[in-house]
Structure 1
Amino acid sequence: MVFGSTMTIIGASLTDISESLGTTNATLSWAVSAPFLGLAAGTTVFGTLGDSWGHRRMLILGLTVFTAATGVCGLAWDALSFIAFRALFGLGGAMMIPNGMAIMMAAFPVNQRARAMGWFQFAAVGGPAIGLVTGGALVDALGWRAIFAVYTPIAALGLIAAVIVVRPTRAGEAKPIDVTGALGLVAAVVVLMVALDRGATLGFGHPAAIALLALVPATIWSFVAIERHSAHPMVPLEWFRRRNYAGPVVASATANAAYMGGFILAPQILQQRYGYTLTAATVFLVIRLICFSLSSPVGGRLTATRGERWTSCLGSVLVVSAMVSFAAGSLLDAVVLVVLGLALAGAGLGVAGPAYQVSVVGSVPMDRLGAATGMFQTLTSLGTAVGVQVLVLAVGESGTGAAFANAFWLGAAVAAVGVFGAAAISSSNSAVAERTISSGRSTRPEP
């Protein structure tokens, strides 16, 4: 809740914060990028460490860093300190997310994991919705530092609750830490994320952006080469030959690329095509978050009863439909089509999210859940970052209805790749277990 809400409010309040700290929006945009950079670079590394050192230990450490970073953000004295604290905030999230996910998945038998994931998403996605509704009023009334004064105690309550409630977890078998692989992954992620950020700010024809983009294939190849020859790889490459791992990774990365691209472009359409104010356009975005939140428990239920493949395909198709609706709304004088696109996009990711996660978790050994969910989150974050930049570039400077439509048709094509990834997932163990229970036969839950 704290992560999503503060990200949303800061994005909407960037001008107020930059004026207060005596900098520009372009410079302070790093405060929005930095948490995602830390998240993308750190989730696999910290998830792997959790597999060896204990997921609860890493979760508590992450919550501690996260809470402290939330607090010190409100004390920032200039742009550099604010950006640094936001990066620390992202690293705390990178410690929390894969280890919290591993704890949650291990706590439930196979047939209950999808429902647990659905309710987790219901709560997590509610945070950005609250941020959109309340953030503007909070900043207008008390200033941007009030954001962190309000959310730091909430983060602290989460830390205290985790210490009291979360049961100790057994550390995995002690294995040598793949330091070289970790550095290689971080280098690849950082180079890609910084290249996208500099390209968006300076233009992708700028020499700095071109040089960084040219480094991306080399850093990725280096990471793959390191993992291929490592005796104890951080991420075994053979996971990507498993349909139930590679399928949801492809589906999630592409669906989120289209989803977030649509989220960024929808307010622009509402302002430029239909004449809404920024405040009114932002309110429309709540529709997407509400649909995401409400559909998540439904996705958990469908995954448990119909299986990961069927539910993943349904969610991916809904995201494709959202892009088509956005494209139509860009060309036709029908704002309802833009609203429909927001609703379909939220429902699609809400339905598919539990299926993606359960498929990933079921395809790897229980003692590697941290690394597996961490890499899944990393690749999803990278897909999201690339998708946003590609769709924004596709619109260009014209801002015409046709330009927006072309961007959304491209988003539909990207999301369609996710349908093929979802279709590659094999039949569901969780659905089999659910049907067995429903028919009155007992099943032994996974220890």
Structure 2
Amino acid sequence: MAERQQIVNPWPALWALVLGFFMILVDSTIVSVATPAILRDLDADVNQVVWVTSAYLLAYAVPLLITGRLGDRFGPKNLYLVGLAVFTTASLWCGLTGTIEQLIVARVFQGLGAAMMTPQTMAVITRTFPATQRGRAMSLWGAVAGVATLVGPILGGVLVDGLGWQWIFFINVPVGVVGFVLAVRLVPKLETHTHSFDLLGVLLSAVGMFLLVFGIQEGEKYDWGTIKGPITVVSLIVSGIVVLAVFLVWQHYNRKEPLLPLGLFKDRNFSLANVGISSVGFTITAMAFPLMLWAQVVRGLSPTRSALLLVPMAVITSALAPVVGKMTDRVHPRYIAGVGLTCLPISLVWLAAVLSPDDPIWHMLLPIALLGVANGFMWAPLGTTATRNLPMHQAGAGAGVYNTTRQVGAVLGSAAIAALMQSRLAAELSGAGGAASGASFGQSLPELARQGFNDAMAQSLLLPAAVAVIGLVAVLMFERPAHMVQGAAAVTEPAIAAG
């Protein structure tokens, strides 16, 4: 508690941190709208371009468990600044690359920088705001997360049309410099806690995630058959699952300090919030690819006009953020998050139903607006509920776990939607599936292929809708937070005494 009392006003520090957080989340989705341009300029195929996002998300997700601990050990401010420097430098590298392979490698380093930064934002909230005010602080964090995933494609469209796809990365450089200066000036130095580091756990989690994601994403490319010799895509997926299972067993028996503190999951709301945010990460990441490809390939829209389809979603999410933030400290999170995760699958199924090569574009705006409602009600209550009961010495670890599950969901969403899109294109376009997934995506399709491409993208949207239902089930099982129960008791006891 003394640590919090030393920080008279924690809000300036939080604003400084969420600037960097906003930037790294924008980069999770900004590539989706630039896909056709990158396909043309770097002579790549769709699967390679999806790896530009998957490599970033994978490098972002795997280290989060340990970077949360590193923030506890060396101070969240110090680790945030190192991560921001790595991320900004890697962004410059991304814009300067000349091949798809170089771009993928540069994105890996971007992801590593993002992994150092993200847990520190939640850890600062947990360690500087009292539980009764944490909902408002987390609503800002949640609003930034929600808006950033929507702004990414919009900003990307404007930059690709106006300056070229390289500028979706160059734009991070000045923002990163400003964010670094603000963090140096405004973020306080917090007490550090000694931790040991589970290097075997890091290795197992990294290998397991890579095998799983590579297997899912590359499955359709290799027809789920032989890659080289006896190694098949299915065996890679199975191996990934086995390695991750070994990781969990090791975390259980590691008596020093496991990378994944399983004891955190004894808190029911923490466990359920992690299920919820992983489904949200999967859904939001996966939906962007088919939607942006549909807009540019089927309807022939420019990147900017394609991205502008998401404006209703971004505006509604931004407008709802302060309202939901005020509710988060007073209303049962089951009801707030439940509204968002009910609207999410409904909006995606609705969107899939109205995608058409010829119908008016405005038919899409209502389901996209409903997506804005979903985003406005999801992020803040999930983040607040996950971190509400975290002990101070595990703030970094808990934030690392929460952000890891979100990013694991995003990685799996990116990999799964790539495989599904290729599968549906092959089915709907018959023999043209392979050609349609190549560089020709940078141009409008022949008239005869438009309906098949349209149907493939619409069918692909049903996968994130189905995963969103898992998150809905999880949040409907939330318990009432302890501070609400105590507050109700405090009101009841005087009333009984007066009686």
| TM-score w.r.t. length of structure 2 | 0.77
Q: Please, which runs of 5 or more residues in structure 2 have no aligned partner? A: 1-21, 429-451, 495-499
Partner of 2:319: 294
What's the CA shift string for 1:400-422, capped at 9, x where partnerless?
77766665555444322222211
Q: Map 1:40-439 onto structure 2 (within 5 A).
A: 40-127=61-148, 129-172=150-193, 174-199=194-219, 201-205=221-225, 207=227, 208-231=232-255, 232-267=257-292, 275=299, 277=301, 279=303, 280-330=305-355, 338-390=364-416, 393=420, 396-397=424-425, 398=428, 399=452, 411-429=464-482, 431=484
Moved more, 161-170 or 101-110: 101-110
Q: Secondary structure at the match of 1:83?
A: helix
Contact conserved, 1:258 with 1:388, CA < 8 A, in 2? no
Closer, same or farther: CA 326–144 of 1 in aligned 2, 3 Å: closer
What's the CA shift string for 1:203-232, capped at 9, x where partnerless?
444544223112122111110111011012
Q: Secondary structure at the match of 1:425?
A: coil
Moved more, 190-199 or 124-133: 124-133
CA distance in 2 between partners of 1:9 and 1:236 (Å): 33
CA distance in 1 between partners of 2:363 and 2:484 (Å): 35
Q: Please, which runs of 5 or more residues in structure 1 have no aligned partner? A: 442-447
Q: Secondary structure at the match of 1:110?
A: coil
Equivalenced residues, count: 438
Bigger Rg, structure 1 or 2: 2
Contact conserved, 2:226 with 2:233, CA < 8 A, in 1? yes
Contact conserved, 1:304 with 1:434, CA < 8 A, in 2? no
What's the CA shift string for 1:316-359, capped at 9, x where partnerless?
11213223422442599686563332222232133121111111
The code of the aligned residue for 1:224 comes to L
Q: CA RMSD in A?
A: 3.3
Following TM superposition, by how much is the alpha carbon of 1:202 offset from its aligned partner in structure 2, in angstroms?
3.9
CA distance in 2 between partners of 1:340 and 1:95 (Å): 38
CA distance in 1 between partners of 2:491 and 2:346 (Å): 33
Instruction: State percent identity of aligned pairs.
Output: 25
CA distance in 2 between partners of 1:25 and 1:387 (Å): 15
Closer, same or farther: CA 429–293 of 1 in aligned 2, 3 Å: farther
CA distance in 2 between partners of 1:71 and 1:411 (Å): 32
CA distance in 2 between partners of 1:241 and 1:219 (Å): 24
Closer, same or farther: CA 419–190 of 1 in aligned 2, 3 Å: same
Closer, same or farther: CA 7–416 of 1 in aligned 2, 3 Å: closer
Following TM superposition, by how much is the alpha carbon of 1:103 offset from its aligned partner in structure 2, in angstroms?
0.9
What's the CA shift string for 1:80-132, capped at 9, x where partnerless?
33322211111100000011221123221112222112223334544455554
Following TM superposition, by how much is the alpha carbon of 1:3 offset from its aligned partner in structure 2, in angstroms?
2.4
What's the CA shift string for 1:43-101, capped at 9, x where partnerless?
11211222222222211211121122122323335433332221111110000001122
CA distance in 1 between partners of 2:382 and 2:476 (Å): 12
Closer, same or farther: CA 155–438 of 1 in aligned 2, 3 Å: farther
Contact conserved, 2:424 with 2:460, CA < 8 A, in 1? no
Q: Secondary structure at the match of 2:219?
A: helix
The code of the aligned residue for 1:240 comes to F
Following TM superposition, by how much is the alpha carbon of 1:164 offset from its aligned partner in structure 2, in angstroms?
1.0
What's the CA shift string for 1:168-191, capped at 9, x where partnerless?
01111x232111112222222222
The code of the aligned residue for 2:478 comes to I
| TM-score w.r.t. length of structure 1 | 0.85
What's the CA shift string for 1:141-192, capped at 9, x where partnerless?
44444444432011011011111110001111x2321111122222222222
The code of the aligned residue for 2:282 comes to A
Partner of 1:444: none
Partner of 2:18: none
Closer, same or farther: CA 406–195 of 1 in aligned 2, 3 Å: same
Closer, same or farther: CA 203–286 of 1 in aligned 2, 3 Å: farther
Closer, same or farther: CA 57–81 of 1 in aligned 2, 3 Å: same
Partner of 1:445: none
Contact conserved, 1:126 with 1:293, CA < 8 A, in 2? yes
The code of the aligned residue for 1:370 comes to G
